[in-house]
Chain A
Amino acid sequence: MEPPEKPTLPRNLKLVFQRIGRQLELYYQGPYRRAIGRSVRDEEDFFMLLVFGESLGIPNPASFYTLELQPLMLERFHEWHKRMGMERSPLDDFPCC
């Protein structure tokens, strides 16, 4: 095991700056985390609609490719239908739970 680095002045300063940076980031993000989180979620929901469009009867020329993505979306899909107030998966061909 490597011996812990000696606490020298430059190292201490570096640590202090890193800490300030982290707190500054918290300060920067805090008030807007919610608005940004929501718009990210909206974007992801839209992407989900593209992936599952075919199952809902929306013709999708890229369905050959999006079909491949479906298993990768499993967890997010489950979270989405829970969020929308549906206990079980609304799609018969995609029983996630």
Chain B
Amino acid sequence: MSAILLMLLGLGGMAAGYFFYSRYIAERIFRFDPDFITPAHEFEDGIDYVPTNKFVLWGHHFTSVAGAAPIVGPAIAVIWGWLPAFLWVVLGTIFFAGVHDSGAIWASVRNRALSVGSLTGYVVGKRARSIFMIVIFLVLLMVNAVFGVVIARLLINNPGSVVPIWGAIAVALVIGQMIYRFKFNLPLVSLLGVIALYWLIYIGPAVPVALPESVAGLPANAAWILILFAYAAIASLLPVWVLLQPRDYINGLQLFVGLILLYGAVLIGSPKIVAPMINHQVPEGAPPLIPLLFVTIACGAISGFHGLVASGTTSKQLNRETDARFVGYFGATGEGLLALAAIIAATAGFASLADWQAVYSGFGNGGVQAFVDGGAVILSDGIGINAAVAGTMLTVMAALFAGTTMDTGLRLQRYIFQEFGEIYGIRWLGRPLPATLMAVGCCVLLAFGAGGPDGSGGLLIWPLFGTTNQLLAGLTLLIVTVMLVRLKRPIWVTLLPLVFLLLMTLAALLIQLNSFYQKQDWFLLGLDIVVLVAAILVTLECVSALRKSERESATEDV
């Protein structure tokens, strides 16, 4: 099958979702009101609450939610064949992610722009808020550990990308200084930054860097993970304008460049998809498609992380309530596009089925490396970029996304530890440095426990990350559903995705529980049990909250 056809089908589906389904939910379900005074106007303060142009806000939302996860997930999930991953990404974006994101913005805007955490307390109840804190802690823990493992593997598999990946940090530092200290013109700085980054990518393959087999008794993979966490710890302690802000900015530009190049190359080169539609020869040890597909691809189909962005920053800057459709729904669609590109790269960028099968020889084996290798072939065939440079470009893109998420994730986790310190009166934990060290310690432990010091464990932990992410999405959908019940509006648009997500998450956790037990992987088994308990708590909370709000709205009628 031609990749162009798949691309057009995907794009067409998502476009139809935006033009028809999102219009329906915006007008009939959420009933966005153009005259509603949004928090951005009501509390305008020039800092948190600033009415912002909807295109700019869409840019924020899209680039904050799209990162490494919508690349890694689909690139792992194509092991079951391209069709299941494709259907889940396209239908998930249309019926799950778009509704979730625009719903989260709506819920927040209608409640003084509260964050999802506060909203769970305010709309659902205090107990739900405690569960939310547990889930968010788990998500952050997993995202940092997983991305540490992902970047370490990328650095080892692509020695040519080491210089540009670390060089990008220097570029970001310089950009930050140029903007804040020297007040340079931003378009000019952006142009210089992009040129510097692509120059580094261009020379990267000529100056490969590889760590020796063993560094101080540790395998290279373990050494990279430690270096990455040391970097992330320092980065998360720096003021945001020094590194995180310019890094995020470059990533945003990279995302647009990467997407345009990839889709352009598919159009020009018209590669053939070599992977099977449905893989009947799934490697031994791979878990069943249902339910694991729905947690392997979290970001790209639906992801709880979006709710944090939607309610944290987006809702405070929404100019008009009707903009929530474009910003939220279309923002989620943007992420779906990235996931679709990842599917195409990981299924069409191989010479033959045998090559593809060699890469996907075990669950979690293909992943982001398959995206990089496949994407590089598509780019070099389509628009004639040197294959080594194209591979480096995609590696850098994925590693930068993952790295920035690590910075942010570690920072957020530090805040949680600091809060623990304050709540329980542990003074030393209230300070940034010890709290950061605690956060790093947990993440490193998880990264080693899950992947093994030599990285042999692969990305077994990835679906677990997906489950926690889905639980977070479930909580956001619950908030929106409860609000809809109280307003006596149809709830199926959010209730059906919620039920589906919870069922798949619970089933996936049980299946994985069994598989970790069979493998006698006690570490992951323990982790699975923790997530399972959280999942059961979320489910119980959903049932009780919905029954309570149903009863309340019924008594109002009497």
Query: Could you tell me which A residues sit within 8 Å of B by CB distance?
Result: 17, 20-21, 23-28, 30-39
Contact = CB atoms under 8 A, between A and B. Distances in A.
Given A33-B50, A36-B240, A21 B185 contact: yes
B56 A31 contact: no
A31 B60 contact: yes
Contact of A23 (B55, B185, B244, B248): B55
B171 to A, nearest CB: 15
Nearest to A40: B47
Contact of A35 (B60, B190, B240, B252): B240
Nearest to A17: B187
Contacts of B460: none
Interface of B: 46-48, 50, 52-53, 55-57, 59-60, 64, 179, 185-187, 190, 239-241, 244-245, 248-249, 252, 313, 317
B317 A30 contact: yes
Contacts of B249: 27-28
Nearest to A24: B186
B193 to A, nearest CB: 11
B182 to A, nearest CB: 15
Which of B56, B60, B190, B248 is most buried by chain A, counting CB atoms within 10 A of its CB?
A: B56
A27 to B, nearest CB: 5
B240 A32 contact: yes
Contact of B245 (A23, A26, A32): A32
Contacts of A21: 185-187
B186 A31 contact: no
B245 A24 contact: no
A25 B186 contact: yes
Given A35-B240, A36-B240, A39-B239, A28 B245 contact: yes
A26 B190 contact: no
Given A30-B313, A31-B64, A37-B48, 6 more contacts: A25-B186, A26-B53, A27-B60, A30-B52, A34-B48, A36-B241
Contacts of A31: 60, 64, 245, 248, 313
A27 B53 CA distance: 10
9 contacts: A17-B187, A20-B187, A30-B50, A31-B313, A32-B241, A33-B48, A34-B313, A35-B240, A36-B241
A21 B188 CA distance: 9
A95 B167 CA distance: 54
A25 B56 CA distance: 10
Contacts of A32: 240-241, 244-245, 248
Nearest to B249: A28
A37 B241 CA distance: 11
B413 to A, nearest CB: 16
A73 B239 CA distance: 26
Given A20-B187, A36-B241, A27 B50 contact: no
A36 B64 CA distance: 18
A37 B186 contact: no
B47 A34 contact: yes
Which residue, A23, A25, A32, has most C-beta atoms of chain B within 10 A?
A32
Contacts of B57: 30
B240 A27 contact: no
Contacts of A25: 186
B514 to A, nearest CB: 42
A27 B239 CA distance: 19
A39 B315 CA distance: 22
A23 B53 contact: yes
Contacts of A26: 52-53, 56
Given A31-B313, A32-B244, A35-B240, A24 B52 contact: no
A35 B48 CA distance: 9
A24 B48 contact: no
Nearest to B408: A31
A23 B46 CA distance: 16
A28 B313 contact: no
What are the 4 tightest A-B residue pairs by CB atom distance, in nearest-first order? A37-B47, A32-B245, A35-B240, A26-B56
B244 A24 contact: no
A33 B47 contact: yes
A23 B60 CA distance: 12
B481 to A, nearest CB: 28
Contacts of B52: 26, 30
Contact of B186 (A28, A30, A33, A39): A28
